[in-house]
Amino acid sequence: YDTNIQYHPGKANVVADALSRKSGMIVGIKVVEEIIRDLERLGIELYVYGHHGYWASLRIKPDLISRIKEAQKEDSKIWTIVEN
């Protein structure tokens, strides 16, 4: 067979570059999905309008301290000390 392959510098890797960008975009999407799952697990609501995201609420407090404070509210021994 007689073939003629014309090489164009600068255009030789157009397909490879496009595929590379596409795979990079897919990786970015997977990372975003993981972040969204993490936010949902933490109970954080995120509202997205157009290309901007807004935190609906974010309240972080140490779990142990919160549990101690709640338990103290119902502890009769502490209330006896406070009242006297």
The total domain count for the chain is: 1
3 domain residue, yes or no:
no
What global pTM score does this model have? Answer: 0.28
42 domain residue, yes or no:
yes
The reported pLDDT for the residue numbered 38 is 81
6 domain residue, yes or no:
no
Structural domain range at position 76 = 14-83
Rounded distance between C-alpha atoms, residue 68 and residue 73, angstroms = 9
The reported pLDDT for the residue numbered 35 is 78
Which parts of the chain register pLDDT below 50? none
Listed in sequence order, the residues at least 6 apart from 57 whose beta carbon sits closer than 8 Å to its beta carbon are 44, 45
30 domain residue, yes or no:
yes
2 domain residue, yes or no:
no
27 domain residue, yes or no:
yes
The reported pLDDT for the residue numbered 4 is 62
62 domain residue, yes or no:
yes
